[in-house]
Structure formats: C-alpha cells, structure tokens
Amino acid sequence: MPTIIHKAVLLALSLVSASACASHWSYEGEGSPEHWGNLDEAWKTCQSGKNQSPINIDATLNAHLAPLETHYTDGPTTLVNNGHTIQAGEKEGTRDTILLDGQTWTLQQFHFHAPSENTIHGKKYAMEMHLVHSNAEGEIAVVAVMFDRGAKNQELEKLWRKMPAQPEQSATLPTHLDLNKLLPDDKTFWRFSGSLTTPPCSEGVTWIVLKHPLTLSADQLEKFSHTMHHTNNRPVQSLHGRIVVE
C-alpha cells in the first residue's frame, strides 16, 4: 500500500487538469487501459496491482456497516473538461464532508464516467459519479453514485448547462448546486478496498458504492458522450480475493 505522503501527492495529482498526461493515456487506441501499465514507469500498478478498481460487485458479506453521513453545504465552484472527464472542483476551505470510520473526509472534486466503471451483478449503468474525498492523513475515499436512463436530472442539468465543450476548457458555476440532490435518499452502500481508476492507479483507496441509482435523461447522457467523444470507463478488474462488504 502506498505511504500516506505518497497517497497525498497522488490525490493532488488526480485533482489537477490532466493536460500533462493527455498525450500519454486515454480510453482507446495505444493509450487504452490495457496499456496504461506500460506507458509510464510510475503507472506499473495499473498492470501489476492486486487491489484495482473498478470491480464487479456480486458476492458480498454483511458486516452491519455504520451509515454513511454526508454533510454537503457548499457545492462546487468550477467545472473542467480535462479531456478524460467532466470534473467539478470545490473551493478551498469547503465544508462539504462525509463522516466515515469516525473521521471527517473533505470533498476535493467529483467527476463522471459513462458507462459506469463499477458494475453490479454484471450490470453496467448509464453513468457513474465519483465524489473524491481525503482525510487529514491524505488517504482517499470515493463515494460512487450510479445513474440509470430515465427522468431528466434537474440538479445535474445545472452542471450540464455549463459543460465545457472542448478539452482544457473550464467554466465558473454561478448557480448553487445542491450536492445532496445528486445522492439517493437511501444511502446504503457496498464497501471495498481499491484504487484510483485512472493512472497511476494507486491502491489504498476506500470505495463506497451507493446501492440506489439516480436517473438522467437520454439527452443528458448524449451531451456528456458527445462532449467526451468516447466512453471513459476502465474495464472491471479482478478481485484477487478481496471481500465486498455491506
């Protein structure tokens, strides 16, 4: 497992624009996921790691997990098209946090993948949102929310109206976004130990996958897909004996 300092550095790297790596990795062609581990010495874990994400959630163990406590009050202030995803950024000193394992984890950013990266009993959802948090030690916890095709998502639309059309473009979000409305009312979840789903694929990441999906419209999904020009989901990885708890 990476050291705490190492993970803190990796978190910082994961939060900035991916322009420096844009020519090195992608979701198709020579830079596609199956090649990530060979593209850079620092990304070897993408190929050799035994606790990689995403996964297919199938068999689980009932561990009577404590409820997830979310405290989202501020909302994002910026929206970036980094060429790999659409990412919403939090302001410095944000009060958007979760309580997990008796610790406070602060939201750093959230972004989207279509179709979903994690699958449930083999099912891919239309889209998956990853809310990336860190604690005081620099460890990472990701809360994942699934989206099915269905009714238009009004809160998501506030982001979509400002979606930058081209890579490396950004936008300011003047409209207050209520992050609580991008979470299901029932926050029961599956939990497992995994990794970042993009290079450098660092492990030691706590994954919280909410069981109940939200919806987005076909038009909203099409806008995201058209802007990305390709799917942006890493294939599911082997469990290598890991246990998923709920």
Total residue length of the chain:
246
61 and 147 in contact (C-beta within 8 Å)?
no
Cα gap 218→128, rounded to integer Å: 15
Cα gap 129→94, rounded to integer Å: 19
Closest CA to 238 of 12, 58, 20, 108: 58
Cα gap 189→157, rounded to integer Å: 25
First to last CA, the chain: 23
Which ranges of 26-175 would DSSP assign to H, the alpha helix? 36-39, 45-48, 154-160
Q: Which residues are catalytic?
A: 84
